Structure 1
C-alpha cells in the first residue's frame, strides 16, 4: 500500500481543452522567499467583468494543475472547478467566487505536511517522511509546511487581494485540497484562523506516513488539532472520504476527527460536515463528481 501511494503522489504533478480559458489568468512563476516559484491560475467568474463594482469571495485550492484544466491534470481529468462554480452561480445556488489554483511542485509532500504535528513523531517516523519526500522527487532536506503557509498567506493572498476585487475577510476566504492537500488545508485554517474562515478537506490522508499498522502519525495530527482548534462560532469545515483504495484506510480516522470536531464545539451538518461517498476512491474523477457539494457548503447563498 505504501508503494501504491508513493506512485500516486508521483502522478500528481502530471499536466484541460482549457475550460473557460478566457476567464483564467496565469502567473507562470509566482516568486516566493519561502518556497520555490510555481504556477498559479486565477479563475474569474463571468460576473467579474459584468459588474466592475462587485467584490468576490475567494477559494484557494491545492494541486492547482488538477483543478481547472483537463490537459494539465493527473490522468487528464481535472476537478472541472471553474465550470462547476459557473453553473452553480448561474443557478443562484452559490455566490460567484474567484478560484485560485496553486500548483504543487516536486516538494509537494514536504510542503503539505502539518509541520507542528511533526513534533509528536519519533525520529524514525521523521526519517521515513523524508524518505517518502525523496521518493516523490524532492531534493529538500527540511519540512516546509510552515513556509508553504507563509507563501500562501503573506505573499499569494496579498497579491490576489491587491490585484483583484476580492472580499478579503476570513468569512469570505476558504481553502481546499484533497489527500495530502486536505491535510495542509486543515493546517492552514488552524494556523491562520484569522485568514481562512472555512476549509474543505477531501479524502484527507490522515495516516500521514502510509503505514496501516502505525497509528502514531494520525495521533500526532489529532493531538495538534485538539490543541489548536479554531473557534467554532466563526469557522466551518467540510470533510469527506470514499470507501475504496487509500480512502478506505483513511475513513476510520476521519470518524475520529469528526468526534474531535463535535467534542470541540462544532455542530454536525451545520458548521462541520463530514460525508462518505460509497465506492469512491482517491482520484480527481471522484473529487470532480462531488465538487458541487464543496461549493454549496462553502458559498451557498
Structure 2
C-alpha cells in the first residue's frame, strides 16, 4: 500500500500507547502518558517529535520500577509524530503500530489526540509545507572587522570556529558564506524557502600562487553533515569529505558545496505535489538559480554539466535524482546514497514511477544501499529501482553504478565509510 494512503488511514485512528490512558483537561486539551519499553538498560530516555522540533532533549522521561520510562504530556487535539531518544539513540514506539517512514531508514510513530480531524492535512502539509526558520550558524572567534564574503571555519568539539590558519598545499579550506542565501518568492505563490548560509570546501592546491586551475563541483544536500564534525548527526559524526579529499592520493580534487537543510527537510527534498510532471521545486530552483551562480561567480569552477554533480543520502538521495531529471543540462552526475525510495509525492507516486514514465535520465547515476536495521536500509526497494534503471537504459560501467554495502546501517557513519565510492564515480567520470 502507498505510504500516503496508509497515513490517511492512520490519522483517522485514536489509540493508546502500551495501554496508556488519556483524559480530558480543563484547557480543552488531553493528557497522554507515553511509555518506552527499553531492550537494554539506558541511563536516560527523552520523548521528542515534531511538536518539539525534534529536540533530542525535549521531554525527559522517568524510570519506573518495572524498567519502563514514562512521561505524561498535555497536547491539544491533533496528530503528532514522535520518537524516543535513549542514551542518544533514536527509537520509534514498538508498542504503537501506527507509524510512517522518517526519511532516514526508520519510522516515526503517530499519536492522534481526539478525532484527529484538525490535523488530517498533515500528510499533504508535511510533504509540501516549506515553512521553516532561517538556517544560520554561529562561528566563534570571527574578528570584529571581518568583511569578506566567505568565513574560513573549522570544527572544534562540535562548534564552528574561525580558522585563521594559512592555506597549505596539503590541506583544503572550509568556508561558510557570511550572508544568507535566499530564493526570491514568486508572485502569487505561497512557496517561501528558508534562507540559509552554505558551506564550501576549496581543495588543497586551490590557493597555489598563480594557479588558474578550475575544479569540478559537487553540490551536497544536508550540507551541515558532510564535514569533519564528530559531534553531529545523532552521534554518528559527519561524512568527513573535507578530510577525505585532503588525505587522498588517488581521487581528483573538487570543490564541495554543502547546502544545509532546514526543519522543512521532507518538503524541501521530497517529491512535491506531482513528481511525474518533473517541475522544479523551490529547492531545485534555489540550487540552480541562487547557489550555483554564486559558486561559479566566486570560485574557479568547471561550469559544464559533466563537471557539475549533486550528491546526498536518504531524502538527500531522492532530491539528487530529481535534480538530475529536472535540470539535466546543468547537473550531469548524480550520486544517491541509501535513497528513500519509499517516500511518495502527494499523489502517492515514487521515483520508481518517474523512471517508468520518463525512462533513463540524461545523467550518470550512482546508487547504493546497506542491508542492516528493521528496514534493511531500503535494500528491497533499491534493488527494484536498480533493476528498473538497467531496463530503461542505464549501463553498468558506462553511466551507472550500484553498490550494496552488506551489513551497513542507515546513518552517517556508514555513509562516511563508503563515501569514496560515489566520489570516485563522480570525479573519474567517463564522457558520454
TM-score range, shorter chain: 0.7 to 0.9
Q: Hey, what does 1:129 align to over in structure 2?
A: none
1:226 shift after superposition: 3.1
Matched, 1:5 2:155: no
Asked if structure 2 preserves the Cα contact closer than 8 Å seen for 1:189 and 1:197, the reply is yes
Q: Hey, what does 2:358 align to over in structure 1?
A: 228
Matched, 1:207 2:358: no
1:39 shift after superposition: 2.1
Q: Hey, what does 2:151 align to over in structure 1?
A: none
Matched, 1:253 2:350: no
Q: 2:184 pairs with 33, 42, 56, which one?
A: 33
Asked if structure 1 preserves the Cα contact closer than 8 Å seen for 2:408 and 2:414, the reply is yes
Between the aligned partners of 1:225 and 1:116, the Cα distance in structure 2 is: 17
Deviations 1:225-280 (A, max 9, x none): 33334555xx2111000001265162111112112211122112331111111111
Between the aligned partners of 1:246 and 1:100, the Cα distance in structure 2 is: 32
Q: Hey, what does 1:98 align to over in structure 2?
A: 255
Q: Hey, what does 2:267 align to over in structure 1?
A: 110
Asked if structure 1 preserves the Cα contact closer than 8 Å seen for 2:360 and 2:392, the reply is no
Greater radius of gyration (CA) = 2
State the aligned residue count: 264
Bigger proportion of residues as strand: 2
Between the aligned partners of 1:59 and 1:196, the Cα distance in structure 2 is: 9
Q: Hey, what does 1:148 align to over in structure 2?
A: 283
Asked if structure 2 preserves the Cα contact closer than 8 Å seen for 1:112 and 1:180, the reply is yes
Matched, 1:266 2:394: yes
Q: Hey, what does 1:123 align to over in structure 2?
A: none
Matched, 1:157 2:309: no
1:300 shift after superposition: 2.4
Between the aligned partners of 2:398 and 2:374, the Cα distance in structure 1 is: 27
Q: Hey, what does 1:126 align to over in structure 2?
A: none
Q: 1:48 pairs with 206, 223, 233, which one?
A: 206
1:108 shift after superposition: 0.6
Between the aligned partners of 2:356 and 2:370, the Cα distance in structure 1 is: 24
Indicate how the Cα distance of structure 1 residues 262 and 150 shifts in structure 2: closer, same or farther if over 3 A, else same. same
SS state of the match for residue 115, structure 1? coil
Q: Hey, what does 1:82 align to over in structure 2?
A: 242
What is the RMSD of the two structures over their aligned residues, measured on CA atoms?
3.0
Q: TM-score, normalised by structure 1?
A: 0.78
Between the aligned partners of 2:240 and 2:375, the Cα distance in structure 1 is: 21
Q: Unmatched 5+ residue regions in structure 1?
A: 121-143, 210-215
Q: Hey, what does 2:370 align to over in structure 1?
A: 242
Between the aligned partners of 1:9 and 1:189, the Cα distance in structure 2 is: 27
Structure number with the bigger relative contact order (C-alpha 8 A, sep ≥ 6) is 1
1:186 shift after superposition: 0.4
Q: Unmatched 5+ residue regions in structure 2?
A: 1-91, 93-98, 109-134, 138-154, 166-172, 186-192
Q: Hey, what does 1:299 align to over in structure 2?
A: 427
Q: Hey, what does 1:276 align to over in structure 2?
A: 404
Between the aligned partners of 2:206 and 2:273, the Cα distance in structure 1 is: 38
Q: Hey, what does 2:320 align to over in structure 1?
A: 185
Asked if structure 1 preserves the Cα contact closer than 8 Å seen for 2:181 and 2:196, the reply is yes
Between the aligned partners of 1:111 and 1:224, the Cα distance in structure 2 is: 18
SS state of the match for residue 194, structure 1? coil
Q: TM-score, normalised by structure 2?
A: 0.56
Bigger proportion of residues as helix: 1
Matched, 1:63 2:222: yes
